[in-house]
Structure 1
Amino acid sequence: MSKGAISQFIEKYYLHFNAAALVDAAKDYEKQLQGGSKMLVSLAGAMSTAEIGKIFAEMIRKDKVHIVSCTGANLEEDVMNLVAHSHYKRVPNYRDLTPKDEWGLLEKGLNRVTDTCIPEEEAFRRIQHRIVKIWKDAEEKGERFFPHEFLYRLLLSGALEEHYEIDIKDSWMYAAAEKNLPMVVPGWEDSTLGNIFASYVLKGELKASTMKSGIEYMTFLADWYTGNSKNGIGFFQIGGGIAGDFPICVVPMLYQDMERTDTPFWSYFCQISDSTTSYGSYSGAVPNEKITWGKLDIDTPKHIIESDATIVAPLIFAYLLDM
């Protein structure tokens, strides 16, 4: 298929520096897919609130991504946007807000993420009683699931359908649920739904063991990596933090700790980040540093794009979708 106008534009004008790195990363991503490699995409930051689902959902539907690692926030915030979009409030002058202004947003139930406020009542509470029922039903049956599996069940049950406020095709979580896309959500406890689940454990209404743990996510990932690495698995990292640090470690864990010396390195690596290495930042570590940790090989295609992921990721995805 011939490339569309967006792809042609970036190939013509994105020729140097971070712009060129964007094009190189997109082309190498495409080569990975053409060679039969799988691709992991990690989502950090507030990409779901930035409505990455508008294009990321299509990446999932078109089999351009085969497993996702994301923060608990990105997991739930796509669903929140799905059911409460009209209640979100944009604050373009957020840099000028005083502490009093911020308090005013709190009193209105508006939780600010940079220039966008998530409406607590419509977003969090609209989901809460429905997901709690699913948690309790599983516990009564002696069942245990991962955080993302519970949300898949919620989405596929149709319980939220009457509250949809965006086109369902723009929800990456719904696209993932339809495909039962493999996922890891490290540190899920650091999320609103994670906090809500903990509160029910504290109240004695749920057992902590009903929710599968981070260790179980790692062992799942180890099995998935082993079973899918015949033609290589690439690593496309949006932002930094635990969403990237957690899954990339599966390779040295398998190779060094499990002593599976035939474990292949990640076959591609790209990170979109504005973090730097000046202060010992893991998130900003350049790809070559990952060689010393047994994550990447000498010849692994490596890219780092020092820019804003909300600008860069949609352009790369557009290239991969021939837009």
Structure 2
Amino acid sequence: MSKSQGKKIAPIPMSSNLGVVELIDTYFTAYNSARLREACQLLSRDVFIPGVTVGVSLSGAMTPAGFGVSALAPLIRNGFIDWMISTGANLYHDMHYGLGFELFAGSPFLDDVKLRQEGTIRIYDIIFGYDVLLETDAFIRKILQAEPFQKRMGTAEFHYLLGKYVREVEKQLGVENSCLLATAYECGVPIYTSSPGDSSIGMNVAALALEGSQLVLDPAIDVNETAAIAYAAREGEGKSAAVIIGGGSPKNFLLQTQPQIHEVLGLEERGHDYFIQFTDARPDTGGLSGATPSEAVSWGKIDPDELPNTIVCYTDSTIALPLVTAYTLNQCPPRPLKRLYDQRPALLETLQRDYLAAKANPVVSAGGTEEVATYPCGTPIRK
């Protein structure tokens, strides 16, 4: 066998003082442990460096388990996450920690009928009081009545304002470690939700609408802002990375930025440069959660020249995320914060300008004399 096809596995007995970097680099030798090692090395070597804009999608019940505070917030503060797409549920349960409420490690085998009678909520093996939901709802309902919320807005602005209020509560309560929303607010990291009505946060927004609230969460704003972020990531020698925790709607919302740019707006066709996903979903069922990077190439979501920079690790995200965070915090120097939240208006203006210019100026052939047929958006029609 040619040695160029692989690296020799040379097992070494583990020591009692093994660190996380040595553990992953030396002992994650095959199968999905090797994919996790490759993801950690790719992130620390090529992704978490200057010049790469990193978008992270988050699905699955990660924040109830505390990973918003313990893993994602440190990555944000060290400049490794520039923007995010999250389920509303993750942001809702993240707020419990910012508001000082308690969640507990329990058992997945408890009697759920008894739990309901006792007013206890269960998320697999996490349990907490029903009053945690009611108190969180009450907090949301109260602050959403404030004047800054009485308008149409995208979810990045909405979550920025939420994070601002949660951060104030953290200060009043003396919360030692900020939750994900409060950290993103302080660091200027925009967080979007692809389905804003699909969570308790959206349910409370809807309830206030029945009382005459003027708050409207507009998904069109989110689609354009996220496309503008992805479009700007390529300025100069810049690159765009998609780091996917789980799958679902947040994964698609992160990846669809590229088809939005070339398929709908008729601008450059390239795709994200890096694709790293941690998932337990299979690809053969046809669902988006398990769709592979090579399949994403056919949609223009991933740059075909960058397939070597794509990794899918089939594992539980609650195993992968803390290991990845510990590894990269150890290996990577902090990056300056991009504060993309503050740049949204300028990025959107650039996208709109280039889109309208592309529509107004028909594409011509290489000789410069024959016009090429285009779709209404300006994308050339391929024969």
TM-score, normalised to structure 1, is 0.87
For 2:47, which of 7, 22, 32 is the aligned residue?
A: 32
| SS of the residue 1:305 aligns to | strand
- AA in 2 matched with 1:229: R
Residue 59 of structure 1: aligned partner: 75
* CA distance in structure 1 between the partners assigned to 2:142 and 2:255 by the alignment: 34
| SS of the residue 2:127 aligns to | strand
Residue 234 of structure 2: aligned partner: 229
Q: CA RMSD in A?
A: 2.2
Q: Does the alignment pair 1:265 with 2:276?
A: no
For 2:33, which of 3, 19, 25 is the aligned residue?
A: 19
| SS of the residue 1:271 aligns to | strand
- The residue correspondences of 1:1-323 to structure 2 (distance < 5 A) are 5-30=19-44, 31-34=46-49, 36-52=51-67, 53-86=69-102, 88-92=103-107, 94=108, 96-97=109-110, 101-121=111-131, 123-138=132-147, 142=151, 144=153, 146=155, 147-156=158-167, 158-159=168-169, 161-163=171-173, 167-169=176-178, 171-202=179-210, 204-207=211-214, 210-230=215-235, 231-260=238-267, 262-300=268-306, 301-322=309-330
Offset at residue 176 of structure 1 (A): 0.9
* CA distance in structure 2 between the partners assigned to 1:144 and 1:253 by the alignment: 20
Deviates more, 1:132-141 or 1:8-17: 132-141
- AA in 1 matched with 2:244: Q
Contact 2:269 2:300 in 1 (8 A): no
* CA distance in structure 2 between the partners assigned to 1:303 and 1:293 by the alignment: 18
Change (3 A) 1:233 1:78: same
Higher RCO (C-alpha 8 Å, min separation 6): 1
* Structure 1, unaligned runs of 5 or more: none
| SS of the residue 2:288 aligns to | coil
* Structure 2, unaligned runs of 5 or more: 1-17, 332-383
Deviates more, 1:266-275 or 1:174-183: 174-183
| SS of the residue 2:301 aligns to | coil
Change (3 A) 1:215 1:83: same
* CA distance in structure 2 between the partners assigned to 1:16 and 1:8 by the alignment: 15
How many residues were matched structurally? 306
* CA distance in structure 1 between the partners assigned to 2:144 and 2:101 by the alignment: 25
Change (3 A) 1:142 1:38: closer
Identity of aligned residues (%): 24
Contact 1:232 1:264 in 2 (8 A): no
Offset at residue 103 of structure 1 (A): 2.3
Offset at residue 140 of structure 1 (A): 8.0
- AA in 1 matched with 2:226: L
Offset at residue 232 of structure 1 (A): 0.9
* CA distance in structure 1 between the partners assigned to 2:38 and 2:203 by the alignment: 40
CA deviation vs aligned residue, 1:288-317 (integer Å, no higher than 9, x gap): 111111101222211000011100111111
Contact 1:105 1:111 in 2 (8 A): yes
* CA distance in structure 1 between the partners assigned to 2:134 and 2:314 by the alignment: 37
* CA distance in structure 1 between the partners assigned to 2:159 and 2:149 by the alignment: 19
TM-score, normalised to structure 2, is 0.74
Deviates more, 1:65-74 or 1:139-148: 139-148
Change (3 A) 1:295 1:125: same
* CA distance in structure 1 between the partners assigned to 2:31 and 2:258 by the alignment: 30
- AA in 2 matched with 1:152: G
CA deviation vs aligned residue, 1:235-281 (integer Å, no higher than 9, x gap): 01000101111121010111111000x25411100111111023212
CA deviation vs aligned residue, 1:1-22 (integer Å, no higher than 9, x gap): xxx9211221011111111111
* CA distance in structure 2 between the partners assigned to 1:176 and 1:276 by the alignment: 32
